[in-house]
Amino acid sequence: MKSAFLASAIVVAGLVGTAQASIIIQPTGATSPTEWVAANRLAVDAVNGNGLSSPLVTGDAVPATYPTHNTNAGDMFQTSVDLVQTPGQTITFTLDQAYNITGIHMWNYNENGGSGPLPGRGVEVLDVAFSSDGGTTFGAETRFDNLPAASAAATDAGFDLNYVANNVNAVRFTLIEGISDNRFVGIAEVRFIGTVVPEPASLGLLAIGAMQVLPRSRRTSR
């Protein structure tokens, strides 16, 4: 009977583990009050995947190697206002549902075009805060310092940020400092990593399934 109970527990634990496997989360939208509209370097360009070498969408498994980002400025977000003169500029990402976030993958600003390589326009210091009410209110900010510059080459695969927050449906980045150029600061692309917050009904069904498995196991063991 003990072995049957243990087997049932393993089955249920396996179901829970499968349901909670980490996935890629592509924001459904992004907004910034200081996006550079005239140059077509919009907040949405930090989430639409146009500059990535291959698609990376919600539900994808977390890759061992991330896609690279191109050097086209039109495929990236950039501010239009000097960060020194107007500090605290933000870009806010909306998610399609609530997630438990376990990490962030970010490609820093990676322009290399007519003006030459401009990785200095990437973000070096960043504050991150999350919302559980669609962006109406945000919690305490977490600061990330010394973010790496992009390579200014189409081989740039970005970097990970260790960020954990539960029941998240919006995330706000506050741009604190650029790498070497605070006049125009930008981000090439952002993805979040995490798990879907289970609906109460789903949790109830899982519990019922576990209760049904155990009696069958007991009968089998007799």
Question: The dihedral of CA 196, 65, 164, 50: what is its sign?
Answer: negative
pLDDT tens digits along 157-176: 999 999 999 999 999 999 99
Question: The dihedral of CA 164, 165, 168, 173: what is its sign?
Answer: negative
Residue 9 or residue 77, greater confidence: 77
Q: For the whole model, what pTM was predicted?
A: 0.84
Residue 213 has pLDDT above 50, yes or no: no
Q: 193 φ, ψ to 5°?
A: -125, 140
Q: Share the mean pLDDT of the chain.
A: 88
Maximum mean pLDDT: which of 4-13, 78-87, 159-168: 159-168
Query: pLDDT band for position 4 (50/70/90)?
Result: very low
pLDDT tens digits along 94-140: 999 999 999 999 999 999 998 899 999 999 999 999 999 999 999 99
What is the pLDDT at residue 13? 42
Q: Are 175 and 185 in contact (CB under 8 A)?
A: yes
Q: Is 117 left (phi over 0), alpha (psi -120 to 50) or beta?
A: beta
Tell me which CATH homologous superfamily contains domain 23-197: Galactose-binding domain-like (2.60.120.260)
